[in-house]
Amino acid sequence: MYTLIGSPTTRAFRVLWMLEELGVAYDLVRAGPRSEAILAVNPGGKVPALMVDGETVIDSVAIIQFLADRHGRFTFPAGTIERAQQDSFTQFACDDMDSACWNYAKHSFILPEELRVQEAKPSFAHDFARGMEAFEKRLGDRQYVMGDEFTVPDLLIAHTAGWAKACRFPWPEGKVSAYFERVRSRPAFLKAVEIREAGKATA
């Protein structure tokens, strides 16, 4: 049994989605950043955290890859060239997508107002757009980034695409747009959305 600590409106959604993909039993403790529940297991106060076998794993990317490795699904074996290529797409999700969205959010509402630099925000949209241009070429005609099988970076890329849309970044068309729609139509994603929205309704 896993226990996921974090709000599904944050990066905890990624872990929730992965747990649904795996079809494993878990408990969800809804908790925001720096809440008492998360500070008890992560002094940094960041969500999500996953409790497993009496141990704590933090950081959404680390948790998702751990789950994939542990269950032998949605990942290639460590030490293979396919795993290196898979990890390259994971880094793309973090470096080219998540960072642009996170910086945009920080300068929109997260940082204290006196530290926000509104003039910097167009540069984050620019970075995202450049990343999407490269991603379109890398994706080609494949169904998922590694071919016919859904893997860890597909989850990360498709989830972060939702943040990019909320930031009103230029939305890619054609193959990339179809890819986003395809991945975000998976039953496990839709179930995770249902759980997230149910929490909003009872908040």
Tell me: the pLDDT tens digits for 65-97? 999 999 999 999 999 999 999 999 999 999 999
Which candidate, 147, 127, 126, places its Cα nearest to that of 74? 147
Domain count, the chain: 2
Q: Which of 52, 73, 94 is the last residue of a domain?
A: 73
Whether 115 and 177 map to the same domain: the answer is yes
Flag whether 90 is in a domain: yes
Whether 51 and 117 map to the same domain: the answer is no
Residue 201: the pLDDT is 63
What whole-number percentage of the chain has pLDDT above 70?
99
Q: Is 49 helix (H, G, I), strand (E, B) or coil?
A: strand
What's the average model confidence in pLDDT over 168-174? 92
Residue 19: the pLDDT is 99
Q: Is 79 helix (H, G, I), strand (E, B) or coil?
A: coil
Q: Which of 36, 53, 73 is the last residue of a domain?
A: 73
Query: Which backbone phi and psi does 6 adopt, to 5 degrees?
Result: 150, 160
Q: Which of 24, 55, 73 is the last residue of a domain?
A: 73
Residue with the bigger pLDDT between 5 and 170: it is 5
CB 155, CB 64: distance < 8 Å: yes
Whether 17 and 36 map to the same domain: the answer is yes
By residue range, what is the domain housing residue 52?
Answer: 2-73
Whether 89 and 182 map to the same domain: the answer is yes
Whether 62 and 115 map to the same domain: the answer is no
Flag whether 139 is in a domain: yes
Q: Is 159 helix (H, G, I), strand (E, B) or coil?
A: helix
Whether 160 and 100 map to the same domain: the answer is yes
Taking the chain, what is the end-to-end CA distance rounded to the nearest angstrom?
25
Whether 121 and 154 map to the same domain: the answer is yes
What's the average model confidence in pLDDT over 2-24? 98
Flag whether 196 is in a domain: no
Give the tens place of pLDDT for each residue, 105-142.
Answer: 999 988 999 999 999 999 999 999 999 999 999 999 99
Residue 200: the pLDDT is 73
Whether 181 and 87 map to the same domain: the answer is yes
Confidence of residue 185 (pLDDT cuts 50, 70, 90): very high
Give the tens place of pLDDT for each residue, 18-33.
Answer: 999 999 999 999 999 9
Enumerate residues 6+ apart whose C-beta is below 8 A from 144: 150, 151, 154, 179, 183
Flag whether 143 is in a domain: yes
Mean pLDDT, the chain, whole residue set: 96
Whether 132 and 177 map to the same domain: the answer is yes
Whether 107 and 151 map to the same domain: the answer is yes
